[in-house]
Amino acid sequence: MTISEGDNIRVSDRLSQKDDAELVRIARLQLPYVTTAYEVLFHRYHHKLIKVCYRYLGSTQEAEEAVNDTMLNVFNNLAKFEDRASFKTWIYRIAHNQALTRLRKKQLDLVGLYEAENVVMDDTPSSLAEGNESIEHLLAQLSIEERSIVVFRIAGDLDFSDIALVVEEKLSTVKMRYKRALEKMAVSARSEDQEI
């Protein structure tokens, strides 16, 4: 390891202790020539966004592509970020739009959601794969709006107020749609259990 690589690791470690607002401020100053603060933001959100996009798209590959497009969009537009909402809300909004665009394209290409749900990674244990298929099947019963709220709440671990900002709905509307979506999923799960 050279001295500059060691220094870079120490800088990244120090930056990883900072909150999003401070990292955004530093990244705005650094980009496009130095990417250290941006990389910390990238690593902080990458896995979370993959989980969210996967729940929309049902494909690991498509989820990764949506997240890569999201992160590229963040890289190119971070200077335009206006701090009206938190960075977390902004990045989830971009990922939401990327996933919806891909989902709509899939629907236009006549690829059904049920077909996308059957995609399971080869290295996934069968019990986990069955659980994922069950969750995907229940999510497929929901409208896109309901699915967005459930995915952001459960897979994205967002507060209802952040979800309301991302989906551009009132807080009360988001809470009610979440409750109804969970009820719909519970009814579907019970009816499937009775069929078995």
pLDDT 10s digits, 22-62: 999 999 998 888 889 999 999 999 999 999 999 888 889 99
Is residue 4 very low, low, confident or very high in pLDDT (cuts 50, 70, 90)? Answer: low
What is the set of domains in the chain, with CATH numbers?
3-195 (1.10.1740.10)
Is residue 77 very low, low, confident or very high in pLDDT (cuts 50, 70, 90)? Answer: very high
The pLDDT tens digits of the residues spanning 137-147 come to 888 888 888 88
Over the chain, what is the mean pLDDT?
A: 80
Give the pLDDT confidence score for residue 190 in this predicted structure: 79
33 DSSP 8-state letter = T
Over residues 70-98, mean pLDDT: 92
Q: Which residue has the higher pLDDT, 61 or 124?
A: 61
Q: How far apart are CA 183 and CA 70, in angstroms?
A: 31
Query: Residue 96: which residues within 8 A CB-CB, separation 6 or more?
Result: 52, 148, 152, 166, 167
Note the Cα 5 to chain centre separation in Å: 31
Give the pLDDT confidence score for residue 177 in this predicted structure: 92
